[in-house]
Chains A and B, each alone.
Chain A
Amino acid sequence: MKIEYNNIWKSFIVLTVVAGFGTGCKKFLDAPPVDAITKEVALADQEGLVKEMNGAYQIVGGAMFGGKIQVMNELIADQLDGSQLSADFGEIYGRRSSVFGAYKNDLYRDIYQSIYRANVVLENLAVANTLKDNLEGQARFVRAISHFEAAKLWAQPYGYTADNSHLGVPLRLKTEAVAGFRSTVKQVYDQIIADLKIAEVKLPDENDGYATKWAAKALLAKVYFQMNDFTNAYKYANEAISSNKFTLDTYASRFSETGSKESIFKIISSRGTFEAGGELRGQFRSDFNLPTLRFNTAFWNTVNTTNDVRKAWFETVKYPGFIAIKKYNSDRFEIPVLYLTDMKLIRAESAAELNTSLNIAVQDINDILARAYAGTKSIPAGSSASLIRTNARFERSIEMAGEGNRLSEIKRIGAKGENIDRRGAVWNCGGMILQFPQGEMAASDIFVRNPEGGCN
């Protein structure tokens, strides 16, 4: 038998050529990852920009309103029973957060990541055509809601100083990777309002699940309400309600997979791909086990009245001695972020504060009462502004329990001069706001951090 030396030579040469293939071939070494594309390709056209915008919602709906915003706010507020909370939750509940703590620091980074994504859209609007206004409106809406949530958690509220010159949070209006610095609270709120006023004009009436003109208005109502600017709060809440696009819905529908008719802006849940509310289920869900986050007796006593149908929202039997919430007891649900009940309560309380349009306010309150007490409770026509306000605040505290609203109320009403914290702290003590992540100080030695503690 004869050896085919030609074949050996051929094999040898092939291997040698392959071995030398990369050498001197620069293209071979430009191997961009296949799961990523360059900025130029990603943002080449409107389609890319639409996807980028959707990426921003992914954060708003996941890392933020998927539950961490609500959990964080509830922890600092006064409706939870935190006696057995430990670790990050114990620290935040104890109103003494520090520069560390992944739960808090990750939320901070994620809020700013949503802003970053919105800024990418705003910086590249030139490639958009038919959706240019729509995308600008959405990006500004996302940037506004994110700055708003960051400001509520990391800065003392609007009204803490007379001119709001106290430090707020970093305003990020560009994508550049530079060290952060804190703007004043006035600058932050001015920017939020400016963004929303542009969004309100640029956004359409209907937007296929994304932010609409009405979402911008509803958010404006919330922002102004937070600032105790009742004229504007009334104006925007009224516009949202008067659109007649939203109707009061059942309690069961609020956190349901089919959604609520009340929703003005909601987080959409899609089976298998984006099941919103994981963190809400993780911390509050009570149909299987005793959840980590439970409510305190003082709060339960406000719900536990004869005709209040909202008692059904609470689990008080299964785990003796504990009060758990049942709002989030299902595998999948949508999350209403801005919805009609809230708007009605804002309109009613704003009217009461302004002492105008009281008849509308009475009707708003009675709509809420009728549903809450199965028609057994109402306030009379011609009720006083103060009665309207008392009812608005009382029902809000129950209606939005576990949704992260209570802390905003403690601060808003505190800034108006009335301390309502049931845990006995002052509304503006240090620990009522969160400490900035150590990374901010590590990246810039002039970054001013918050004073810690002082609430106990």
Chain B
Amino acid sequence: MKIFYLLKRGLLMLLMLVALQVQAQTGVISGKVLDNTGQPLPGASVFIKGTTKATSTDNDGVFQISGLTNGDVTLEVRSIAFKTLERVVKVSGRTEVTLTLQSDNQMLDDVVIVGYGTQTKRQVTGAISKVTGEKITALPTPSFEASLQGQAPGVQVTQGSGLAGSGSVIRIRGIGSISAGGDPLYVLDGIPITADPFIGGNRGAMNQNPLATINPNDIESIEILKDAAAAGIYGSRGANGVILITTKRGKAGKKPTVTLSSKYGLSTYANKPTFATGEEWLSLRQEAWTNDGNTGLAPLPGGLTWDQARQNNTDWWGIVTETGKSNDQSISINQGSEKISTYFSANYSDNNSFLKGNSYERYGFRANVDVKPTSYFATNINLAYDNGTNNRVNAAWSGGLGEAMSTALPIFPVYNADGSFFSNGANPARNLGLLDWKTINKRLIGGVTFELKPVKNLSLKAIGNMDNLDIQDNVFSPAELVNRTRGQASTYPVQVFNKTVTGTATYDWALNTNNKITFLAGIETQFSDRRLYRDGIFGDADARFDVDRASYYQALNAAAASNSLNYFNGIGRDRFSSVFGRINYSYKDKYYLQGVIRRDGSSKFGPNNKYGYFPSGSASWYISQEDFLKNNKVISNLKLRASYGLVGSSNFPSGEYFQQFTAGSPYNGRPTLFPKNVQNPDLKWEEGQNLDLGIDFGLFNGRISGEFSYYRKKTTDALLNGAISPSTGFDGAWINVGEILNEGYEFALNTVNVETKDFKWVTRFNASKNFNEVLSLGGYSPDAVGGGTNDTRIAVGYPIGTNYLVRYKGVDPNDGLPIWLDKDGFETKTFSLDNRVPVGKILPDYLGGLTNTFSYKGFELNTLFTFAIGGNLYDSSAKRQLGVVTDWNIREDIADRWRQPGDVARFPRLTMNASNYPGLSSEWQYNSTMFLYDASFVRLREITLSYSLPTKAISKLRLQNLRLFATGMNLLTFTKYPGGDPEIARDFENPQDRNMSPNVTYLTTPQQKSITFGLTTSF
């Protein structure tokens, strides 16, 4: 494989370079860097411009650069939150300087990662939010992306659940896809990485999140690209936004520094619904039975008699949960010399969630190496290996805690009288000891970049990246569990290969001191495919297949013998071939213009639409640099920006454009072939026309700063997978028909409220409002898409994920029967699915976060509140927990029900037969506003108290720093929803479900509430 060859070559070259001797030169500069209060500034980068010489300051702010030629040199000093300083220094033998940096709360010289390059914050014309690494590691989330919640305006993060390794649903500036994936593109150090939660199949009511393998401790920063100016360079994949993840690197001139981080935590569920006890459940059942006109005792589920049932009051929730424990250890070594900088890290973490038997254990290593042997050549190499082992349990519809909330009744015993497990009804305890289910993700991410500067200001880069993921999902169910004479094992091995090769050329052209132009041109090819056994491998076994290898080979042979192995090498081939360019023009640091274009061709697109062009243009104007504002006492920074462009989204399966025939599992021992889909040669990307207008401002020298943005994203050709007559034999076909509008505002405000020598109070607030509307569905009705596992629909004139329900008026006090509203708003007592209307939406109106940081001497208290206001929550389990009395648990809210004539109540009279509510065919169809709730919530997402030891103390310990901290996550939640946790991203069946049914709960595992203690130190 080429990539391996190139990697090997890169490593060899590295070894050669390490051996290079530095040639002796004469001059030396040493000095000290201070901040504006006169304190030494550690960690500042010091460069000699026009050379590769660089270093950084130590704990006392001291630096030294040697090997200089005598004469004038330009020193550049950079440090985060300080203005970059340039100073011309005359070197003559040993020269000493003292440099003072001015603080910069706006951080305009801060480096921002953009697609295929970097810009300073000042140069950025698009909408980009940056989240630093320490924000990502601050919380013990199941996977790093959940830590983005509340950190950036316009970014909605709905954490999956408290399940170990659980993924989140992230939506940037609303949602512009229906059936195709609405997730952003994740790019790690230049490679679009595998992030699809369905890549290893969809089993057990929990999606396997490939992002959970990534070590959050390695993340330097995350940049979120939101508009066409920023994301346009990603062409047909940028429309849902791009999340750029940058890992840590060695810093030039840094002495070898070891950083240790150690955390221990305890967790439990953030919320729990209350259910009827055994005795209560029995009396509710009896009440329903009597209401239905029966006499005697009601029949009981599980084959139990009343006497037997009365003996039990099993706390199933308690049986399947426990106090979760987590620990997270990481170590890294970071150093840099003039020519070689390195970052090496290793980490181990084990997160046992509050569900018994559920954990995510991860370990990994990373090496990032930068080599700069000459002024005209540089290379860097990244290599990371992560191994994540998920011990899985059933959840939601698949059992476990889901059963504890549904069919595991308090009247059911755990054991029969003879000591065997009770098995005539749901018994999640039985699974606990028996089901053995482990998913192992192994991920290798590697990349090499060669950079050449053949002439001044021209940089040529050749980049090769790979992201290989190996997913081994192994399940073993012993004989007892599956009611067979021998146990059964299954495995679904999947290997994902993902490679990108990129070439770019950048040229900086300074026409004169006022006019500067930067050109970027690039070509890129991406290949991604998988190796897998499409139908898995299953068979009799005595343990998991990765343990009981003999049975595994037996199953493999049996499958091979009967032609049903269905092993595919190269399945799901996605190929992109792209050309792109970017021009940045700046005038006097006042006006900035940017033009971007990308052409993408993809194997996903049909022959009639093979290539797409995605141009965008943007501009920014620093009004504060104009003469009339230049020395204004109040306004220290004022920037206007605007962008408009086309961006695409291609989150749909490959090869859908032509009619596929595929081999099925055999029948009668012989091969089968069947048609898989309906062809569409016109299939193409979804296209977004994105407009962004923004103001960035800074007042009182940055004490108050912030931004305000307006955006309007119109998606055309949104993909639908549906809308086909089922008597064709198919459920759906992919067609580009929808039009969707997302329009909104974003606001961020950062204030330094108090700043004294010892005490500082900083507030960061962000909020956004999004308006979403489906403009067109190409003539299809709301039922043409949707259905599936959710009760939401897509209807023209309403937002994506509209709750499409029968309106519930209340209970008739006379007979206790429900009163509904028909389509026209008239009262009716007959339920009918024809009376469903759009009544709510799963998308919130406002969302955001409020961070307050108080620091006093070495102490720091940090709080983060996140909020989502204005959406609806549909409780799909409530229709079973609060509706017709069946073999489900009943929630305590049922207390407010009709019992006798005259009762004014929220819930109708109990019945055991759905048809006693006229017109209702089954309890599953009981979809009404009775179970629609306000989803607004505010939660104390994070509270951290930390203490950093004073410099004197740590010097004695020979450390650079030592920080101790305690963090609470989700300790408080404020919500009107009585049924559990208001933050819901349920188990999803497919990307459409992810778009349409966040905030639709169905036995969803709640979020975790946790306390973590830890320390970090470097030496």
Contact = CB atoms under 8 A, between A and B. Distances in A.
Shortest 8 CB-CB contacts between residues of A and residues of B: A22-B577, A91-B922, A36-B660, A42-B661, A15-B462, A116-B729, A113-B729, A31-B603
Interface string B706-741: 000000000000000011111111110100000000
Nearest to A431: B921
A455 to B, nearest CB: 10
B610 A26 contact: yes
Nearest to A57: B667
B669 interface: yes
A114 B667 CA distance: 14
B579 A23 contact: yes
A273 B374 CA distance: 62
A34 to B, nearest CB: 5
Given A34-B573, A35-B568, A120 B675 contact: yes
Contact of A1 (B16, B658, B722): B16
A448 to B, nearest CB: 13
7 contacts: A26-B601, A52-B672, A58-B667, A87-B923, A94-B913, A270-B562, A442-B780
B668 A36 contact: no
A38 B578 CA distance: 27
B423 interface: yes
A31 B575 contact: yes
B20 interface: yes
Contacts of B329: none
Interface stretch (B215-223, B781-789, B1005-1013): B781-789
A48 B575 CA distance: 29
Nearest to A443: B725
A14 interface: yes
Nearest to B886: A86
Contact of B725 (A20, A61, A273, A439): A439
A370 to B, nearest CB: 33
Contacts of A441: 783
B102 interface: no
B377 interface: yes
A34 B569 contact: yes
A25 to B, nearest CB: 7
A177 to B, nearest CB: 5
Contact of B925 (A34, A61, A100, A440): A100
B959 to A, nearest CB: 37
Given A32-B655, A54-B673, A274-B665, A23 B726 contact: no
Contact of A100 (B503, B887, B924): B924
A109 B730 CA distance: 6
A456 B485 CA distance: 43
Given A29-B601, A34-B568, A38-B660, A52 B576 contact: no
B501 interface: yes
Given A15-B464, A54-B672, A270-B669, A35 B922 contact: no
B860 interface: no
Given A57-B668, A273-B669, A443-B784, 12 more contacts: A3-B373, A7-B9, A8-B13, A19-B462, A33-B572, A34-B570, A54-B668, A55-B667, A116-B675, A272-B539, A274-B665, A443-B725
B833 A83 contact: no
B957 to A, nearest CB: 41
Interface stretch (A184-192, A285-293, A355-363, A402-410): A285-293
Given A20-B523, A96-B921, A442-B723, A55 B728 contact: no
Contacts of A209: 668
A169 B725 CA distance: 13
Contacts of A43: 661
A172 B667 CA distance: 24
A215 B518 CA distance: 77
Contacts of B674: 52, 55-56, 58, 117
A100 B558 contact: no
Contacts of A320: 303
B682 interface: no
A84 interface: yes
A190 B450 CA distance: 74
B571 interface: yes
Interface in B5-21: 6, 9-10, 13, 16-17, 19-21
Given A15-B462, A16-B462, A438-B787, A33 B571 contact: yes
Given A20-B525, A35-B534, A274-B666, A7 B13 contact: yes
A170 B731 CA distance: 16
Scoring B452, B673, B833 by chain A CB atoms within 10 A of each residue's CB, the highest score goes to: B673
Contacts of A274: 665-668
Contact of B922 (A20, A30, A88, A105): A88
A23 B570 contact: no
A110 B728 CA distance: 10
Nearest to B482: A288
B655 A36 contact: yes
A58 B654 CA distance: 26
A193 to B, nearest CB: 20
Nearest to A48: B673
Nearest to A281: B483
A249 interface: no
Contact of A98 (B464, B570, B925): B925
B92 interface: no
B662 interface: yes
A56 to B, nearest CB: 8
A38 B525 contact: no
B19 A1 contact: yes
Report which residue of B13, B483, B726 has the largest number of chain A beta carbons within 10 angstroms of its beta carbon.
B726
Nearest to B302: A290
A115 B729 contact: yes
A331 interface: yes
B983 to A, nearest CB: 27
A204 interface: no
